[in-house]
Structure 1
């Protein structure tokens, strides 16, 4: 493997404690959706953001204004839950230390998230200062696992995908990295165990980001600062 010039991190569950109750979010969204479309189409196998887009498209086929209203109300519900969760969240103890250490050793960093920027800034007001790039879902047309999210971050910090590592706590993050042609790493600080993450065949798996950096230093892929 090549030396790693940049590491792009997911946020929730990777750099910060995961406090968003996605099951409750889906429950509330479905309750709202039932007021617009009853019965709701069976589409339970996709994340909340994609589910909202799908139902909005179904509504818009007959009534574009109704689809827009549904989409707006759902996004408001999601953002409200995200900001509330951020108020109860916190960065992992190792987060600032490893970001600073990577910067000092010459490795560029970035953070990409499907979360809303207002929620992340509620938790970390200086998010733009602790890494070289921060992109929320509002900053891209296509959020991860679409590779655009990762490509845009890499473009901002000036590193190619083949010389970068995508790190996250979910198979979606690993898929994002693979689709972009980057190296990938899974960390078990979210809802997935090490064994569950291994099923997505990342290049590296660790209990947390601190352990991951130690592994990369041992392999000589990043410099030990």
Structure 2
């Protein structure tokens, strides 16, 4: 895999890609590319690593449930990169981790469900973890299409969050939550764990802007 990733890094610039990062000797070698001929910013390419495919499908499903998900993720990533706190290679949270943090926050606010908990079937993938140990990963989740259908049919209840929150409200709330409320070191921002927003949301002011609370 190391040689294959190196060959990709040598070849793809001829097709209009710029190599921004090459990690050939990592546990899962990859090359990060920038597409200089389109609006695509960055893309990670690896070999024999199928878990990210399921992760991407899951993130896409969440983005289909609310039009604010994707722009909020992009805003948070732009901020994190600007502050140089994004990138696992530099000892920071990865881009994927920032995305998961956004989804977790939106679940707490009551705008997103847990598609993993709503999965109708168990689905596992055998692959290597961070420490190169083979183990099963649970990759099942309810698709966005099935979720919307089940909500329309009354089979499941949709989250009852504030629909009028703007992107600015949510960005402010995200910063407030992770700077003042999130229990760093003891809390896991893991969307699969959550379905009902915790009681600590009652009376919270994560979404206050200019002295006005969204729940007021």
* TM-score of Structure 1 vs Structure 2, range by shorter chain: under 0.3
TM-score between both structures, scaled by the size of structure 2:
0.22
Q: Which of structures 1 and 2 has the bigger CA Rg?
A: 2
TM-score between both structures, scaled by the size of structure 1:
0.21
